[in-house]
Amino acid sequence: MAEDRNYPRMVLYLIQLFCLVLLLNAVETQNWYSGDLDLDYTEGLPAGTSMDIELNVDKESADGKLKIGGFLKFMNWQSIRNDTTIPSEDIQRDSDFEVKPLSEIQQMLPVLVKIAISITIVLVILSYFQVNYRSILGFVNSSLALYILFTILILAPIGYLGDFDFTSGMANQDNGESTVHQSFDGSPEMKLGENLELNYIFIIDGYDLGLVNTSQLTDVIENEPGEGHRSYFKIEGKTGITYSTFVTEYLWVCALTFVSIPLFMTLRDWTKISKPKSLHD
C-alpha cells in the first residue's frame, strides 16, 4: 500500500514558496540597506571637524554622499601638515580570501532567489508524488535560503565597504605610517526591531607626525609625548548598517520555515513509532 502523502510537508513547502516569491519582489524593488559612518574629531588641531558618509544600496545602485563639518578648519589642518611618514611595521601578506564586489552581488542575489523558488516548486511536486530521497533536495534548499540571508547581511555590505581611513588627512604614503602610538577601542551594538541595525562605536587616538617639528620627531616616535602635545588627536566615531524591513522579515522566515520547522518535522519522523499491523487468523 502506498504511503500516505505528507501534507504538513507540502504545506511547509508552499509557505516557503510564497515567502521566496515575496523576497524576490523585495530584492528587485526595495532598498537593501543603508550604511552610515560618522567621525568627530574631538581633540587635537582638527577638533570641531566631522565627516559623515551615507550610503543606500539596492539592486541597481549604491548611492553614497560625503559631508564634512567644519570644512574651513579641516582645510586649515591639511594646509599646515607636512608629509612626514615612517616605515610601516605591518607585514603585508598575500591572501587567498577574496570579497565579491557589490556589483556582482547585485546581479547574483536575484538569481539565487529564483533558483530557490524553482527548487521549492520541485519539492512540492516530489512531495505530492512521494518521491524517495526528496529530503536531500529539501536540505539543499534550506542551505540555499540561509546562504541568501548571509549574502544580504554580510556579503553585500562587505562588497561595498573598503578599508575606510578613519584618520583621513593622515593617510599612509609609500607604505609608511603618518601616525604613532595609535590606539583603537570599540564595541559592537545590535538592535533587532522592525529594522535590524548593526552598529560599531569606537574611539581612535594617537599622534599625527605631520604636526611634529623635525627636531622632535625621533623623541615623539620613541616616547609617547602626552595628550597635551600639539600632534595629539582623538576621534570618536560610529559606523553602522540599517537593513530594510524585508531583510528582518526574511531573517525570521529563515529561522522558522527553513530551519526550525523542517528540523522539528525530521526529528518527529525519526522518532515516530509505526503502529503494529493487525493479525488475522
Percent of the chain with pLDDT over 90: 57
**What pLDDT, on the 0 to 100 scale, is given for residue 161?**
64
List of residues 6+ apart from 119 with CB closer than 8 A: 137, 140, 141, 144
Assign 97 a pLDDT band (cuts: 50, 70, 90).
low
First to last CA, the chain: 21
**What pLDDT, on the 0 to 100 scale, is given for residue 225?**
92
Side by side, the strands of the sheet bearing 62-69 are 62-69, 50-57, 33-43, 232-243, 196-208, 179-192
For residue 279, pLDDT beyond 60: no
The more confidently predicted of residues 85 and 58 is 58
Q: Which of 10-14, 124-128, 175-179 is predicted least confidently?
A: 175-179
For residue 88, pLDDT beyond 90: no
Assign 165 a pLDDT band (cuts: 50, 70, 90).
very low
Geometric angle at alpha carbon 153, from 149 and 155, rounded to 5°: 95
**What pLDDT, on the 0 to 100 scale, is given for residue 162?**
47
Inter-residue contact 33 to 242 (CB < 8 Å): yes
Assign 175 a pLDDT band (cuts: 50, 70, 90).
low
- Identify the three-state secondary structure at position 206: strand
* SS3 track for 125-192: HHHHCCCCCHHHHHHHHHHHHHHHHHHHHHHHHHHHCCCCCCCCCCCCCCCEECEEEEEEEEEEEEEE
**What pLDDT, on the 0 to 100 scale, is given for residue 130?**
83
Alpha-carbon distance of 132 to 130, in angstroms, equals: 6
**What pLDDT, on the 0 to 100 scale, is given for residue 164?**
46
What are the angstrom distances between the C-alpha of 260 and each of 144, 254, 264, 266?
15, 8, 6, 10
For residue 134, pLDDT beyond 80: yes
**What pLDDT, on the 0 to 100 scale, is given for residue 54?**
92
**What pLDDT, on the 0 to 100 scale, is given for residue 280?**
52
The more confidently predicted of residues 246 and 172 is 246
Average pLDDT, the chain: 86
Average pLDDT over residues 135-143: 93
Q: Tell me which DSSP letter residue 93 carries.
A: -
Average pLDDT over residues 163-179: 57
148-160 pLDDT, tens digit each = 999 999 999 888 7
Q: Which of 104-108, 139-143, 275-279 is predicted least confidently?
A: 275-279
204-252 pLDDT, tens digit each = 999 999 999 888 999 999 999 999 999 999 999 999 999 999 999 999 9
**What pLDDT, on the 0 to 100 scale, is given for residue 145?**
97
**What pLDDT, on the 0 to 100 scale, is given for residue 1?**
36
Q: Tell me which DSSP letter residue 48 carries.
A: T
Strands (E) in the chain, as ranges, are 33-43, 50-57, 62-69, 86-87, 176-177, 179-192, 196-208, 232-243
**What pLDDT, on the 0 to 100 scale, is given for residue 101?**
86
